[in-house]
Amino acid sequence: MTERTNEGAGEEKLDVAGLLDGEVTWTLLGTLYLRAWESRAPRSILSDHYAAEALARIDHDFSAFERRLRPRSNQYLVALRARGLDDWGAAFLARHPDATVLQLGCGLDSRMLRLAPPPGVRWFDLDMPDVIAVRRRLYPEHDGYRLIAASVTDSGWLDQVPADRATLIVAEGLLPYLAPDEVRRLLQRLTGHFTTGELIFDALAPWLARLGKPFRWGIRDAREIERWNPHLKCLAQVPFTTHATLIPSRRYRTLYRLGDRIPFWRTMSQNFRFTWPA
């Protein structure tokens, strides 16, 4: 997938060079690139054709991404993680068709489009101002969908999100980049602001987070969060290898299933689902 895609041909390309710094560009576009790559599989796990369409609209040389990201294997890490969170999100919206959804550190993720929420849902995507500037060009706001440009560690932005409905909070690919105290304060603010809802996110094992930049926080067991935030109750803790049977490639499916038998490999990345009561 080193070549430019044809989707969006004829449209003006979005030049991100002047909008993002180098490291943000790699993080933001790298995830998008992996989802777009995986969407082209004959039996795609995530089927994120929105990612492929967005990628085609960005004026950027992606030739280095294949060498650095190794998408033939790493595409499954991203797809399995996102698929697990999507499934939880879809189930929540089926139970709460008039819910509020808040996605933290949204990047260029197309979850709002993939889940196609009912008309009564209010959806808020939040990220840093430079990221939101790019996102506005790719996924414009409309009725029921708003973008918030702010750092997730700031407190003022939360006042922009009403707290009068059951709320689904999604934090994919975000919390491992925050310091432990920042994670604790963020979750406390969220459960203090919203009356009831669910929180779904991914996290790394502590040993992986300790390897250093860019990761800063990891968790081994959901009970750690329950101890320092008694409002939260864990509903599920799922290793990323759980859905390895969805991988279409026999080679990588076998590799992931073998890895599922090795505790440190199976739990190096997990999805978590928490709830808090009314």
pLDDT of residue 65: 86
Average pLDDT over residues 248-261: 92
Taking phi first (over 0 means left), then psi (-120 to 50 degrees means alpha), and beta for anything else, what does residue 79 get? Answer: alpha
b (16+ CB within 10 A) / e for 104-113: bbbbbbbbbb
pLDDT of residue 212: 73
Whether residue 269 contacts residue 204, with contact meaning beta carbons closer than 8 Å, is answered with yes
Give pLDDT tens digits for 146-157: 999 999 999 899
Give Rg (Cα) of the chain. 18
Which CATH code is given to the segment(s) 78-276? 3.40.50.150
Outline which parts of the chain fall under CATH 3.40.50.150: 78-276
Asked if pLDDT for residue 185 goes beyond 60, the answer is yes
Q: Who's near 34: CB < 8 A, 6+ residues apart?
A: 69, 71, 74, 75, 77, 78, 79
pTM assigned to the model = 0.93
Structure tokens at 255: 């590799």
- Nearest Cα neighbor of 8 from 48, 59, 61 is 59
Confidence of residue 1 (pLDDT cuts 50, 70, 90): very low
Which residues lie across from 270 on neighbouring strands? Answer: 203, 239
Give pLDDT tens digits for 211-226: 878 899 999 999 999 9
Asked if pLDDT for residue 119 goes beyond 70, the answer is yes
